[in-house]
Amino acid sequence: MIDSIRSEYLRAMGISTWRLRVPAAGEPAAAAACGAAADVASLGWPELRARVAACTNCALSATRTQTVFGVGDNHARWLIVGEAPGAEEDRRGEPFVGRAGQMLNSMLRAMGLSREQVYIANVVKCRPPGNRDPKPEEARSCLPYLHRQIALIKPSIMLAVGRVAAQNLLGSDATLGKMRQQVHRFGAVNLPLVVTYHPAYLLRSPAEKRKAWDDLKFAKMVMERGRSQS
């Protein structure tokens, strides 16, 4: 089994990776994103949480109940990132609660981890109305917050759960199937990023759980390989 996983890993390492797209100079979104990033780059945890809670950078601030900042170990090796809060997350102010959260907890336990040992966040900190996908400009306005969380946590690996999260993080329109089983890199720190299915999707499509388990084994191997080289 280990040899099989290692073969998949070596094969995947030979495939081209996607990088987060940086908008060209002169694009309005680029100027806004750069300004927001510079504004939060020196914030500590309390200040960053307060900034997110008061954020009005996009229209989602008008419809949220509260922001959903993130939860977990502030020095975790594993960073789990989804797309956006849902109705229950908006109500409780915590990511991945309810049935999807229970599925994520089960996924973590399968890797020998608890919810308290990882950090869980979303690309977008406010719930999109009707649980629609976040718009590109909404994701761009929130990404500086995630970048600062990464700088504070210093994780060893990011697990992007779901197509929407992965596409926004990688600046790609590729399908989830094409993004799986590869080591991508996120941001200036080149944080290893692995893509898998969203827990809510697995609840709707239990037949895909085997593929998700393959992704988790792959991510764990990437993590362990990085640890042995550090």
pLDDT tens per residue, range 166-177: 999 999 999 999
pLDDT reading at 45 higher than 50: yes
Mean of all residue pLDDT scores within the chain? 87
The pLDDT value given to residue 39: 86
Domain that holds residue 215: 2-229
pLDDT-above-70 percentage for the chain? 82
Split into its structural domains, the chain has a count of 1
CATH of the domain at 114: 3.40.470.10
**pLDDT band at 228; cut points 50, 70, 90:** low
Give the angle 61-68-215 at the CA atoms, nearest 5°: 125
Q: Rounded to two decimals, what is the model's pTM?
A: 0.83
* CA distances in angstroms from 197 to 39, 44, 78, 175, listed in the order given: 33, 31, 16, 11
**pLDDT tens per residue, range 120-168:** 999 999 999 999 999 999 999 999 999 999 999 999 999 999 999 999 9
